[in-house]
Each structure stands twice: as structure tokens, then as C-alpha cells.
Amino acid sequence: MCGIVGIVSHSPVNQGIYDALTVLQHRGQDAAGIMTDDRGTLATRKDNGLVRDVFRTRHMRRLRGNIGIGHVRYPTSGWSSAAEAQPFYVNSPYGICLAHNGNLTNTEELKTQLIQKDRRHLNTGSDTEVLLNVFADELQRQNGDRLLPGAVFAAVEGVHNRCSGGYAVVTMIIGHGIVAFRDPHGIRPVCIGSRTTSSGVEHMVASESVALDVLGFELVRDIRPGEAVYIESDGTLHSQQCGPAKGYTPCIFEYVYFARPDSIIDKISVYKSRLRMGERLADKILREHPDHDIDVVIPIPDSSRTSALQVAHHLGVKYREGFIKNRYIGRTFIMPGQEQRRRSVRQKLNAIGLEFGDKNVLLVDDSIVRGTTSRQIIEMAREAGARKVYFASASPAVRFPNVYGIDMPAAHEFVASGRSDTEVGEYIGADWLVYQDLEDLFLSVQYDNSEIADFDASCFSGDYVTADVTEQYLDDLERKRSDSAKKERKAQMRRLKNGQDELDEITPDSRAGAA
């Protein structure tokens, strides 16, 4: 999962993009990047790390221009190379910068086409670079001396015809403007906003509406599935449906976990969705445990707070904050490597013994993926003095990989894989466990937007909306995303670094002697 932003303004955009990326930091903590266009001159800064660490005053001063795009990244494959930080750039045609959120499901096929047929060079293993080159190739095919909106939209239609998967894209065409588009299923989110200044109307696109809010842009609407918007450098906005939409199935995990509660995605309030998740989860708890002896409901911070509050309200028991979170530790869900996740849980959370001592506690979390965090948190609750520890998940059991841009690992690494709900509860050490029903999750989210009849819920159901995900693809994905594969890649990076360090230590004289 990543965060994207693009701004076309009448004044410098470097600070605005920086602020927007800071607000979108929850979507990716591995790398950050900004590219700006200063009347045809490209400026760029990107590297591994948090937004606040990647950009210093000296970098911001170089990021001149009234047009720019930005990105925060987390790696779905676990490869944290700075070379794969976004945005990416290709110099022909025009000079194109591109950042994207999501994952292509036909990357290998596209790589073969680009290299063998289109004679384009790929320098990384990132599907973002693939997407950039497909868009560049399609734009190169358009005729005309000037870059007209029709040519841009034809290029985007070509991208939709060639690419499969979930993607939200922002591109900057040097000297011309910004293009943003969304996959034909609408899996990954992207919205557009505007604001009026004394110099005229300015436009912004972003993964979540909260990024618009902090910069004073008004949310205009979400970009529709298969649609593209082209904002010229003078602020003129064009939009067009680039081929037929194949559905309207946004990723439901955005509402469960990834998005900020103060965001509006596809006309749906994330906050209200989580309130309703809590209500329906409480109803299920009452059905399965009508004579419960819960003394207090405690959320696992942060994304489960809203749901937990409603669970407590509907159960008629106290709601308490029982865990204090260290804000300087990254989200364990998006940390590559099981050992790193395991070590970080106790660094991230600390229990308040007063809220647990001699009580029957219901812990509420947004989801359970590997079970590592849940198991350790339950241990912490018991160590803090809880008599009994119950556990409730605001979403159903995760049993299938997500292939559209969320780093959910190989299926065998899911705690629910091959286990019943009762067995999962026993594994994580809960006295009992309740999962949200998938139907109730759907009803909780779609309530605000009747236009959306379905969601991408593949990690819960195993149904992939692009209809091109085969067993072979999932097997290949498992080899790339499993913790063992990530561990090997990290070891490979260390070997490469150590080899370079050894090379650097060789003096010119010793090199000559060796020759």
C-alpha cells in the first residue's frame, strides 16, 4: 500500500506536497519521493525513510516549481531498495514522472512486451517502472505536434487495455501538466480536489481526502473506475472515461485498516464505516455469548478504536484505553519480516495495569493476519493482571493473499489458514474469539454509497475481481512475498553492501598491485 499526491498550482508546491505526504505517511513508511516541474526543468528528491527524514531544507529549496507529484511507499515484495523509491522518470516522450499505489497482476508479461517488442529498458523489479513505460509507450504512439487531451486519454486507455490489477496513478508530463487515473475496477483509491486563490483555481489529486483537507482543498469527487483526469499546467482540467469500467469494487481493507478515519473514500466515511463495524460486531458477540461476563472493552490502537467504542456502547460495558502506543515505532503490519514484527510489538505497546487488573477484558482489533501481534498483546493483557481475555476482530478471518497492493503474505503464513475460528482463538491465547461476518462487513461499508454493490474482499473470500489470478500466479507470489523470501533478499542486500564496502577499502595502489 502506498500514498500518492499531485498538485497543479499558481505558486510553489514543494511544501504542499511535503505536508500531504506527511498526512499520508500511514500508507507507507519505507520510502518517500517528490518530483517538481519548474517551467520544463525537473527537480527530484527520493530515498528510503520517513518523509521527515528524506527531505531536508536543502532538498526542499531545490524542488522548485508550481507543479509536482509525491509518493510514500511500502514494499509489497519486501524489497526496500532506494532505487525503487518513487516517483520514477523516463525521458521519452516529453519526460514523464509516475507514482502509483497498487499492484499489477500481469507484470511479467508486460516486462516481456516492453523489452522485446517495444525496445524499452527496465532498470528495477518494480511494477511501477513497468506501468510508467507502458504509459510512455502508449503516449509515444499518439500523433500530433502538440500534446492534446485526446492523446493523453488515448494513452490511458491503452494502459487499461494492457495492464491488469489494482492501481491508482499520478503522472507528471514535463512542461504540460499532471494526469491521474484509476484501474477499471476502482480497487485502489484516488480523489481530486480544488481550491480558489487570488491567482485562480488550483487542483490536487491524492490517495485520501484527508490530504486535501490539510491543504485547504475541497473534495470534488473520486476519480471513477477507468477514468482519467488531465490538469494542464495553466490549471485547465479535463476528464474522460478511458474505456469501459469493469465494475466498482474498491478494496474493503481500506475501510478496515489502511485509510485514516477522517478520510472519505468513494463517498463513504471511513469513520462511520468503522462505527457500523463495531455495531454489527457487538450484535454477533451478543448472539454467540449472550451471557458474557465482559467487564471492559479495550481497543488495540489505533485503527480499531472507532469500532471498539461502538462495541462497548452496544454491549453496555465500559470502554477504556488499556494500551499506550509509542508513536515512533512503525506499523507492524507493514514491516517486512516476521522477526522484526515480533520484536516491535512490545516496543510499540505498553499495558496500563490499572485497566486490566482482575478484570475480564474484551480486546478489539481491526483484523488478525499472522496472529503474531494478537498473541503477544493477549500475553501482555494477562501479564497486566486480566482474569480472562476475549478477542474480537472487526473484519472476517484473513485466509487468502491480497494481490492488488497490500503485503499480505503467503497463505500458509496466515494464522487462519487451515484453522477454524476456535483454533485461531486457541492459537493466539484468547478465552474466546469472534470474527466479523463478511456480509456484515459489506453492509457496514456500503451503507453510505448505494452505487457500490460489491467490494474487493479477496483476502477474506478468495474471489479476485480481475478474474486473472491463477493458482500459478499465487504460487509465484508466495515465493516472492513469504517471510523466508524477504529474509533471503535482505541477506542478498547485505552481501552486496559488504562486497561494495570491501571494494571501497582497496586503495588505488593496492588495486594497481592486484592488477
**Calpha distance 500→510 (Å, rounded):** 16
Question: What pLDDT was estimated at residue 498?
Answer: 66
Q: Are 302 and 323 in contact (CB under 8 A)?
A: no
Interstrand relation of 388-393 and 360-365 (parallel, antiparallel or unpaired): parallel
**Calpha distance 25→151 (Å, rounded):** 34
What is the 3 state secondary structure string of 100-168?
EEEEECCHHHHHHHHHHHCCCCCCCCCHHHHHHHHHHHHHHCCCCCCCCHHHHHHHHHHHHHHCCEEEE
**Calpha distance 9→19 (Å, rounded):** 15
pLDDT in tens, 369-383: 999 999 999 999 999
pLDDT in tens, 400-417: 999 998 887 688 889 999
**Calpha distance 302→257 (Å, rounded):** 9
Residues labelled as active-site residues: 2
Taken in order 198, 201, 202, 204, is the CA torsion positive or negative?
positive
**Calpha distance 67→12 (Å, rounded):** 7
Is pLDDT above 90 for 450?
no
Q: Are 148 and 70 in contact (CB under 8 A)?
A: no
Angle of helix 127-140 versus helix 149-162 axis, rounded to 10: 130
Question: What pLDDT was estimated at residue 125?
Answer: 87
Q: What Cα–Cα distance (Å) separates residue 461 from each residue in 155, 252, 394? A: 34, 12, 15
**Calpha distance 415→341 (Å, rounded):** 15
- When pLDDT is cut at 50, 70 and 90, the band that residue 476 belongs to is confident
- With H, G, I as helix, E, B as strand and everything else as coil, classify residue 508: helix
Instruction: Centre a 10 Å sphere on the Cβ of residue 490 and count the other Cβ atoms it contains.
Output: 16
pLDDT > 70: percent of the chain = 89
- With H, G, I as helix, E, B as strand and everything else as coil, classify residue 298: strand
Provide mean pLDDT across the span 309-328. 93
Average pLDDT, rounded, for the chain: 91
pLDDT in tens, 335-352: 445 555 555 677 889 999
Phi, psi (degrees; rounded to nearest 5) at 5: -155, 145
DSSP string computed for 11-32: S--HHHHHHHHHHTGGG--SEE
pLDDT in tens, 209-252: 999 999 999 999 999 999 999 999 999 999 999 989 999 999 99
Question: What pLDDT was estimated at residue 449?
Answer: 85
Is pLDDT above 80 for 512?
no
C-alpha cell at 132: 510508467
Phi, psi (degrees; rounded to nearest 5) at 461: -105, -25
DSSP class of residue 334? Answer: G
Question: What pLDDT was estimated at residue 479?
Answer: 82
**Calpha distance 21→17 (Å, rounded):** 6
Interstrand relation of 296-299 and 318-319 (parallel, antiparallel or unpaired): parallel
pLDDT > 90: percent of the chain = 79
**Calpha distance 266→182 (Å, rounded):** 12
CB proximity list for 501: less than 8 A, separation 6 or greater: none
**Calpha distance 244→154 (Å, rounded):** 13
For cell 494477562, what's the residue? Answer: 382
Question: What pLDDT was estimated at residue 514?
Answer: 39
